[in-house]
A and B are shown apart, each in its own frame.
Chain A
Amino acid sequence: MSLDFSVISPYIPMILTGAWFTVKASLCSVALGSLFGLLVGALRVLPIAPIRWIAAAYIYVIRGTPLLIQLFLIYFGLPSLGINLNAFTAGIIGLSINSSGYVGEIVRGGIEAVPKGQWEASRVLGLSYVQSMRNIILPQAIRNMLPAIGNEFVTLIKESSLLSTLAITELTMAGQQVRSVTYASFETFIAVGLVYLCLTSSTSLALQLIERRWQTR
């Protein structure tokens, strides 16, 4: 067999539009997911047992169930409770919640890696728990966490292909549409795969640059 990419070339803008959507969805989700994950991670180490347990259970459930099921629950399940979300909103919420579970676990690890002496020093200096967390512990923890959060971002870009199951025209869905017109399945999905690769590697590269700048500060 031979590959003929010229068949899909008229549809490249369509693929790029899908890619742009994937970028937007991933950025939104990583931002929301990290914020929420930071909260979950902070609650996960709180010296109040019941709150810690709830955060632990949340992380456990999120990480132990497939993203696809989480998306289905939000998009197809919630309407039975009278909550109707459009596909885009449901998708972003699903991805963000999913990501927050992973980020929460990363945050927990990052916080626990900060030496105990840092807590004790802030405590004897009179800082409250929240002040210590915000000014002393989290800034150090985030620095430790940055590589793992970066990986999470890259993972999220790839996982966002599941949004296609909610009929959202992101990159994967765009690929399916191009294929259904051109019947050039192989070429189309090779192209789509390459675009994902570009997205993930440029994200990795950008994160490495940020990390390097942080470390030399």
Chain B
Amino acid sequence: MDIAVQVRGLHKSFGELQVLKGVSLDIPNGEVVSIIGPSGSGKSTLARCVCNLEDIDQGEIALYGRRADKGGMSNKEQSQLVGMIFQQFNLFPHLSVLDNIILSPMKVRGIAREQAISKAAELLDRVGLSEKIDSRPNELSGGQQQRVAIARALAMEPRIMVFDEPTSALDPELVGEVLEVIAELAGSGMTMMIITHEMSFAKDVSNRVVFMADGAILEQGPPEQVLERPQEERTRTFLQRMLPHHTNVKGAEI
């Protein structure tokens, strides 16, 4: 089987602080993996390493069998393998929605403007924002901005999408519209790595849930198993705290 993301013995420190302590993770093509875990456990750092936004200290990262860490592949090649969605959307505020989306297909992939525009229109339709094509990011709600960010990432036609808490910066009433788009994408067979605190969403869309704590993967498996019958005490405690109303976590005693 094609391995989309392969992380081997990944170590990463910021100064004295050891953030990732030997993380290994394989994501086969087409799999949707959700990563959960307490704040500071290194989830974002792992995602950022996969997207080559951090230099790693030790270990290896490969995307579809090609080395992706430490200049193993060009920025351009990487952008066509993996797209990333940030908590803060990071749309380009000085560009219209359309220009946000077509910029890198044109500059990086060398696609003709007409073609890039029709692709952008198609993607905006997919995320339900066709009528916002000429808007500026600051004229959009957070949920709309995040959906544009998803369309922008998809315009590069990556094979893998990495989401770092895509709904954490949103007002509660806007979370649903973004999760809907991500769920649709998951259903389409895209390989995805989703860092999220939305447990029921993780359960619905993922093939696998990974629980991280203290810079290491502590437990992983099918969502029902990890979220409802966690093996590790740390996982139980975390889930209890995440879902105080949730009585489904067996064996959790606090």
The judgment on whether A and B are partners is: yes
List B contacts of A131 (CB < 8 A): 107-108
CB-based closest 4 A-B pairs: A126-B79, A121-B90, A126-B108, A125-B104
Are the CB atoms of B90 and A127 closer together than 8 Å?
Answer: no
Are the CB atoms of B94 and A127 closer together than 8 Å?
Answer: no
Give, as a whole number of angstroms, the nearest-CB distance from B2 to chain A: 22
Give, as a whole number of angstroms, the nearest-CB distance from B156 to chain A: 6
Are the CB atoms of A117 and B88 closer together than 8 Å?
Answer: yes
Give, as a whole number of angstroms, the nearest-CB distance from B90 to chain A: 4
Say if the beta carbon of A24 comes within 8 Å of chain B.
no
With A125-B156, A126-B78, A140-B93 known as contacts, the answer to whether A120 contacts B103 (CB < 8 A) is no
Number of interface residues of B (CB under 8 A): 27
Residue of B nearest to A117 (CB): B90
With A118-B90, A136-B92, A143-B94 known as contacts, the answer to whether A127 contacts B83 (CB < 8 A) is no
Are the CB atoms of B92 and A127 closer together than 8 Å?
Answer: no
Are the CB atoms of B103 and A125 closer together than 8 Å?
Answer: yes
With A117-B86, A120-B53, A121-B86 known as contacts, the answer to whether A126 contacts B76 (CB < 8 A) is yes
Binary B-proximity of A108-131 (CB < 8 A = 1, otherwise 0): 000000010110111111111001
| Cross-interface CB contact of B79 among A125, A136, A139, A143, cutoff 8 Å | A125
Residue of A nearest to B155 (CB): A125
Give, as a whole number of angstroms, the nearest-CB distance from B151 to chain A: 12
List B contacts of A136 (CB < 8 A): 92
- In B45-99, the 8 Å CB interface with A consists of 51-53, 75-76, 78-80, 82-84, 86, 88, 90-94
Give, as a whole number of angstroms, the nearest-CB distance from A140 to chain B: 5
List B contacts of A124 (CB < 8 A): 51, 53, 78-79, 82-84, 153
Are the CB atoms of A127 and B86 closer together than 8 Å?
Answer: no
List B contacts of A117 (CB < 8 A): 86, 88, 90
Residue of A nearest to B149 (CB): A121
- Given A117-B90, A124-B83, A136-B92, 15 more A-B residue pairs with CB atoms under 8 Å apart are A115-B90, A117-B86, A118-B92, A120-B53, A121-B91, A121-B149, A124-B84, A125-B83, A125-B103, A125-B104, A125-B108, A127-B107, A131-B108, A135-B107, A140-B94
